[in-house]
Structure 1
Amino acid sequence: MARSRWWLGAFALAGVALLVAVFVLMTADQAPDGRTGPPGRGPLTVVSIGDSTVSGEGAGEYTAATDGKDGNWCHRSPNAMVNHIELRGVTEHVNLACSGAASKHIRLGDKKQWTEPSQALQLKELVKDHRVAAVVVGIGANDEPKFSRLISQCFTAWFSDEAAPCNENIRSDWDQRVDTMVPKVADALNDVRTVLREAGYRKEDYQLVLQSYASPIGPDMPESLRNLDGCPFRRADLRWVRDTGAIDLAAGLQRAAEKADARFLDLSRAALGHEACSGGEDKNSEWFTRFTVRWSDLEHADRANHAIQESFHPNARGHRQFARCMSEFLPSTEDSAACLVGDDGNLHPAASVTAEHGR
C-alpha cells in the first residue's frame, strides 16, 4: 500500500513538472508582467526631440511660448512633423525639439537652450503621465558640422564676387567634423534610452529613431531666383550642399544610430526636386522656405536677430511629407531606410541612399 502511494506521488510530481514546463514554454515570449506595450499610465504618445529640423522652424504658427516669449526661441509649430505622424494606438504627439539645439541640449545635465532644460530631462517628466511608443530624434547639425552655419556661410559668400565658393573652405576638414559629431549624437541617444530604462521601459516597449537632414537647397532653380528674392547662393555651393554635405552628414548620423542601437531614417535626398526655389514662380511644390524675413521682428530690438531664422527650413508641406515617410517606416521591420519620392509624388521609405549612390 505504501509502495502504491509512492508511485502515485511520483506520477503526481511528474504531472506537475510537465505542467510547469508547458507553462514556461507558453510564456517564454511574454513579458513577466504580461504587458504588451510601454509601461506607466496615460495616453500612448510619440515624441520628437532635437533641433529646428523637427521643432517646426520654417513651418509657421509657432506657439506663443516659443516665439520669443521671455527669451524662448525654440519655434515649435503645430505644423511640425511629429504632429502628423500616424502610428497605431497613438493619440498624443509631443514636441520637445528646440531650434538651435545641439547634442548637449538633449543629454541629461544642466545645459539649457533658449531658457529650457535639457530635452532628456523634459522626457523624464513626460513619461510620468504618458506612455511613450516612439521617440523621433533629429540632432547633430548644430554640433561640429555646423550645417546651419554652413548654409549661412554660403549665403554670405554670394555677396562677394571675389571670394571663392564657400564649400572650398568647408571641404578641408568636413569629414573630420562629421566624425567628431558621431559620438556626441550617440551619447544623446543613449541618454534618451537611460531615461526610458529608469522609467521601467524595455527596448522592445518603444522605438527610437534618428533621422538625418534633407538638403534645403540645390542647383536646379531658375537664375532669376538666385538672389535675395529667393536663394542667394553660388551654384557650386548649391551643388555641394545637396550632393556632398547632406549625404556625408547622413552617413555620420547613421553610424551614431548604430552605436546607440537606434533605427535610422535617411532624409538626405528626401527633398530632391522640392528644395527651396526649385519651383520657380510656383512655391507650392517646394518643401523648404526660401530666404525669409519676418519684417515685423525688425521693429523690435529683442527680436531683430531672429528675423531671418525661418530661412531654408522645412515648411509645412515638407513636414507633412517627412511625417508620411516616418509613419510608414515606424511599423516596418527595417533597421534603416531612406525617404525618397515615389511615383505618386510623395515620400516613402526605400533602400538607403548611401547604398544607392555608392557612397
Structure 2
Amino acid sequence: MLRRLVALVVVLPLLAVLLVVADSPFPDRLGPGRDAPAALVALGDSTMSGEGAGSYEPGTDGENDNWCHRSTKASVHSTTVPGVDRVFNLACSGTSAEQVGVGANDDPGSQARQLARIAREYRVTTVVVAMGANDDPKFGDVLGACLRAWFDRADCSKGLADEWRSRVDRMVPKVERALRDIRQVLRDEGYTPLSYTLVVQSYAAPVGPDLPNDLQNLAGCPLRTGDLRWVRDTAVGELSSGLRKAASAVGARFLDLSKAGAKREACAGGKNQDSEWFTRLTVDFDGLRDEVRARHALQESFHPNARGHAQFGRCMTEFLATQSREASCVADRDGNLTPVTNRD
C-alpha cells in the first residue's frame, strides 16, 4: 500500500506536466524548416522603402495609386547577411506604425501580415524596421511647414520646438505596439525570439545649416538657417531617442542613424552634389501635368538618395555582424559609414 502511494506521488506530477506540454500553445516546429531558403525582410516607411533613390519597382511608382516607391537601390539591397538567399522589401513610403503592425481591422495588407506569409515559406533570419516619423511627429509635414516658412520669412522651428518632444512621446507606444505585432506574427508561425534578429533603424538628418547661401533657395534647400539647425541638432536626435526606447521595450537591437548624414546633407556639397547622400528639393515637373501625380510632385525631396541608401546598407551590414545591442552609424576616415557601439 505504501509503495502504491509513493508511486502515485511520483507519477501524478509527471502526468500533469505531460498534459500541460500536450496542450501547449506553441507549435511543434521552428519556422518553415532548416532546409527552407533564408530571408532578410525590411519593413517601414520611406527611409526603408528607398524613397529618393529612384529605380522604383514596377507597381510602386503611382500605378493604381501605389506610391510606396520601393527602390531596387534601397538600403536593404545593400545589406549583406551571410546565408541569406532572398531579400524582401515590404516598406512603403508614407506608412504609419499601425500599417506596419497588424492594423486595427486585421488588414491583410499590413506589413506584419505580409511578413507572416513570407515566414511560412522562407526561414526569416533578419527583420529590419524603420518607422515612426509618419505618426505623431509627422516629420514630412514638418519639413513642408519649414518650406512654407521660408516663403513667409518666418521660423517654423520656434512653434514646433515646444511640442516636438510630446509628439515623439506619443509616437513611442505606437511603434512599440507594431514591433510587438511583428514578434507575435513570427511567434504564430513557429519562430522564437532567438531564431531571428529584429533591428530598429532610426532616421538621419537630411538637412543641416552648413550649406552655401546660394543654395538656400528654390535651387536646392529653401529652408531658413535656424530651422535647418533645429532639424539637425534637435528634432532628429529626439526622434531617435524615442525609437531607441521602443526598441528596448521589445528586446530589439537598435541602429542610430541620427548623425549618419553629417556633412553629407542635402545642399551641403555645394557645386559638388555627388558628395551628398540626400536629395535636394526635387520636383517631378512631368507629374505636375497630371492631376493625380501632381499631389506627389515633391515626394522625393529631402530623402536619402542612392548613395545614402548604399551607405546605410553598409553600416547595417557591419552592425549585424556584431553582437552589439545598439550602435550609431558614423563616418570613418575614408568617409564611409560604420557602426560605433554606444556606451552608456
- TM-score greater than 0.5 by the shorter chain: yes
Name the counterpart of 1:294. 284
Name the counterpart of 2:72. 78
Equivalent residue runs for 1:42-53 within 5 Å: 42-53=36-47
Inter-partner Cα distance in structure 2 for 1:128 and 1:203: 16
Instruction: Spell out, residue by residue over 1:138-168, the C-alpha distance to the aligned partner (whole angstroms, 9 max, x if none).
Output: 000011111111111111100012x3x1110
Equivalent pair of 1:111/1:117 in contact (CA under 8 Å): no
Inter-partner Cα distance in structure 2 for 1:168 and 1:152: 15
For residue 53 of structure 1, what is the amino acid of its counterpart?
T
Inter-partner Cα distance in structure 1 for 2:272 and 2:106: 40
Inter-partner Cα distance in structure 2 for 1:151 and 1:84: 27
Instruction: Spell out, residue by residue over 1:191-249, the C-alpha distance to the aligned partner (whole angstroms, 9 max, x if none).
Output: 00111111111111110000100000000110000001100000000000000001011
| 1:138 corresponds to which of 126, 130, 149 | 130
- Give the 3 Å change call, closer, same or farther, for CA 47–107 of structure 1 in structure 2: same
Inter-partner Cα distance in structure 2 for 1:111 and 1:346: 43
1:39 Cα deviation from its structure 2 partner = 3.9
Equivalent pair of 1:55/1:75 in contact (CA under 8 Å): yes
Q: 2:164 aligned with 1:151, yes or no? A: no
Inter-partner Cα distance in structure 1 for 2:84 and 2:205: 30
1:339 Cα deviation from its structure 2 partner = 0.3
What SS class does the counterpart of residue 302 from structure 1 fall into? helix
What SS class does the counterpart of residue 65 from structure 1 fall into? coil
| 2:99 corresponds to which of 92, 95, 105 | 105
Equivalent pair of 1:84/1:324 in contact (CA under 8 Å): yes
Name the counterpart of 2:308. 318
Inter-partner Cα distance in structure 2 for 1:220 and 1:39: 52
Equivalent pair of 1:40/1:130 in contact (CA under 8 Å): no
- Give the 3 Å change call, closer, same or farther, for CA 38–133 of structure 1 in structure 2: farther
| 2:195 corresponds to which of 198, 205, 220 | 205
1:111 Cα deviation from its structure 2 partner = 6.1
Q: Which moved more, 1:246-255 or 1:40-49?
A: 40-49
Equivalent pair of 1:217/1:238 in contact (CA under 8 Å): yes
Inter-partner Cα distance in structure 2 for 1:91 and 1:85: 12
Q: 2:119 aligned with 1:122, yes or no? A: no
Inter-partner Cα distance in structure 1 for 2:159 and 2:286: 35
1:112 Cα deviation from its structure 2 partner = 9.8
Q: Percent identity over the alignment?
A: 51
Equivalent pair of 1:107/1:120 in contact (CA under 8 Å): yes
Aligned residues: 318
Inter-partner Cα distance in structure 2 for 1:82 and 1:41: 23
- Which ranges in structure 2 are unaligned for 5 or more consecutive residues? 1-27
Equivalent pair of 2:62/2:293 in contact (CA under 8 Å): yes
For residue 129 of structure 2, what is the amino acid of its counterpart?
V
1:262 Cα deviation from its structure 2 partner = 0.5
- Which ranges in structure 1 are unaligned for 5 or more consecutive residues? 1-32
Q: CA RMSD in A?
A: 2.0
Inter-partner Cα distance in structure 1 for 2:237 and 2:102: 29
1:296 Cα deviation from its structure 2 partner = 1.2
Instruction: Spell out, residue by residue over 1:288-336, the C-alpha distance to the aligned partner (whole angstroms, 9 max, x if none).
Output: 0000011111121111101110000000000000000000001211110
Name the counterpart of 1:327. 317
Inter-partner Cα distance in structure 2 for 1:244 and 1:41: 47
| 1:279 corresponds to which of 250, 260, 269 | 269
Inter-partner Cα distance in structure 1 for 2:32 and 2:125: 6
- Give the 3 Å change call, closer, same or farther, for CA 91–299 of structure 1 in structure 2: same
Please say which structure displays the higher CA radius of gyration: 1
| 1:93 corresponds to which of 68, 83, 87 | 87
